[in-house]
């Protein structure tokens, strides 16, 4: 396993950077990329390179898949040494504070600048708790919230698996995952609303399971051939389900491309080296993901007033966007993550002290 500082899994830093870069380009820079591709005044080599990049970024699809594969891998790794309660507490401190701040800021700025109606409590509460799929609640953060809803469900599922002791018998996990995938395939679609994220829980949860199996195979905790076979079957289920629920994706190979990228990176994980720049951009993943799709439009207002257009305009938006995300990472995300570690440390010490007292 590749490592940098303090046991860091370095190849995952690169995967996080790829994921948020793909999503950012797919959501906000795809028009500029298309302009380069379609302009025959540009050198053909440049146009070919942009076409290759387009396949990795269109709709942010490949980035989302890598995001889920990375999460499935690291969550399985973390649960090898953390209890279910410790895991859930740390994840709550890691995810919710910055997420809640992002949701509130989106609402406040939307009301103050655009006069957007403030959502009702029946919308905001499920949204803030990331349980909106069970209440047919529209997604926030210009629609990127849906991935976090799936993440939270996976956290709870993995904590339960750990609690039952199944994760301590990793050889059976590919079978457990395959059964869960079959259930997701035949169960009613979630969310059930006929919108762009129709049935995404059923489809994209599969990549979290595949990421977990990649970890089990790499660590020799489960049979490699079984893990690869089960992962391939889950990938086929995703392709079938996606073609059924979102036909406009059936002509895209983003899922296959993303899985291959992650798999090759895992095979050559020892070649990935840590440095400060990689660390900074990897740490920005979550904040950029939360803020890019809606904050971009507000930053664009003063930039457009300067008369900037095209790639120049995009560059002038990205710089303050990344600066804001860095400040939020340092002031909110990092502090609450540390607070979560401190809280669980104290909780574990109290539990240990209680056991010692009882034994005495």
User: Per the domain annotation, does 316 fall within a domain?
Assistant: yes
Which domain range does residue 291 map to? 10-359
Place of tokens 């499920």: 126
Q: Residue 89 — pLDDT band, cuts 50, 70, 90?
A: very high
23 near 63, Cβ under 8 Å?
A: yes
pTM above 0.75, yes or no: yes
pLDDT-wise least confident of 208-217, 242-251, 319-328: 242-251
User: Any alpha helices (H) in the chain, and if so which ranges?
Assistant: 10-24, 30-38, 44-57, 61-78, 84-109, 121-129, 145-164, 173-186, 200-218, 224-245, 254-267, 276-283, 285-305, 310-328, 334-359
In the chain, the largest separation of any two C-alpha atoms, in whole Å, equals 82
User: Per the domain annotation, does 35 fall within a domain?
Assistant: yes
Give 33-84 pLDDT, tens digit per residue. 888 888 889 999 998 888 888 888 888 899 999 999 999 999 999 999 999 9
User: Taking residues 269-275, what's their average pLDDT?
Assistant: 93
Nearest to 258 by CA among 62, 67, 72, 70: 62
Place of tokens 């504070």: 97
Q: How many residues does the chain have?
A: 360
Total number of domains constituting the chain: 1
User: Per the domain annotation, does 32 fall within a domain?
Assistant: yes
At a CB cut-off of 8 Å and minimum separation 6, what does 317 contact? 28, 296, 299, 300, 303
The pLDDT of residue 104 is above 80: yes
User: Per the domain annotation, does 108 fall within a domain?
Assistant: yes
Give 193-233 pLDDT, tens digit per residue. 666 678 899 999 999 999 999 999 999 999 999 999 999 99
CA distance 139 to 179: 29
The pLDDT of residue 360 is above 90: no
At a CB cut-off of 8 Å and minimum separation 6, what does 160 contact? 84
User: Per the domain annotation, does 184 fall within a domain?
Assistant: yes
139: phi then psi, degrees, rounded to nearest 5: -75, 150
User: Per the domain annotation, does 4 fall within a domain?
Assistant: no
Q: Residue 354 — pLDDT band, cuts 50, 70, 90?
A: low
User: Any alpha helices (H) in 79-197, and if so which ranges?
Assistant: 84-109, 121-129, 145-164, 173-186
Nearest to 91 by CA among 325, 340, 287: 340
At a CB cut-off of 8 Å and minimum separation 6, what does 212 contact? 72, 73, 75, 76, 158, 173, 177
């Amino acid at each position: 396993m590749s490592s940098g500082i303090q046991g860091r899994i370095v190849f995952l830093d690169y995967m996080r950077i790829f994921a948020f870069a793909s999503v950012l380009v797919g959501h906000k820079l795809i028009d500029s990329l298309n302009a380069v591709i379609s302009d025959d005044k540009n050198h053909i080599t440049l146009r070919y390179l942009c076409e290759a990049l387009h396949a990795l970024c269109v709709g942010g699809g490949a980035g989302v898949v890598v995001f889920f594969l990375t999460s499935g891998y690291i969550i399985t790794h973390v649960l090898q040494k953390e209890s279910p309660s410790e895991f859930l507490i740390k994840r709550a401190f890691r995810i919710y504070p910055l997420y809640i701040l992002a949701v509130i800021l989106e609402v406040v700025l939307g009301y103050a600048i655009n006069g957007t109606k403030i959502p009702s409590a029946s919308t905001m509460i499920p949204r803030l708790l990331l349980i909106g799929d069970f209440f047919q609640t529209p997604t926030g953060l210009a629609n990127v919230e849906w991935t976090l809803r799936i993440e939270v469900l996976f956290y709870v599922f993995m904590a339960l698996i750990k609690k039952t002791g199944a994760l301590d018998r990793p050889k059976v996990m590919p079978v457990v995952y395959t059964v869960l995938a079959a259930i997701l395939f035949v169960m009613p679609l979630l969310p059930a609303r006929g919108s762009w994220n129709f049935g995404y829980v059923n489809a994209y949860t599969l990549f979290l399971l595949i990421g977990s199996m990649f970890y089990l195979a790499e660590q020799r905790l489960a049979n490699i051939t079984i893990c690869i076979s089960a992962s391939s079957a889950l990938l086929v289920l995703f392709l079938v389900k996606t073609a059924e629920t979102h036909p406009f994706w059936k002509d895209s190979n983003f899922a296959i491309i993303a899985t291959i990228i992650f798999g090759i990176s895992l095979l050559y994980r020892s070649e990935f080296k840590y440095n400060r720049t990689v660390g900074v951009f990897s740490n920005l993943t979550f904040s950029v993901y939360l803020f890019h799709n809606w904050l971009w439009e507000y930053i664009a207002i003063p930039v457009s007033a300067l008369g900037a257009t095209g790639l120049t305009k995009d560059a002038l938006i990205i710089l303050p966007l990344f600066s804001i995300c860095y400040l939020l990472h340092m002031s909110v995300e990092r502090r609450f993550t540390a607070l979560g570690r401190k809280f669980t440390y104290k909780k574990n010490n109290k539990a240990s002290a209680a056991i010692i007292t009882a034994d005495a």
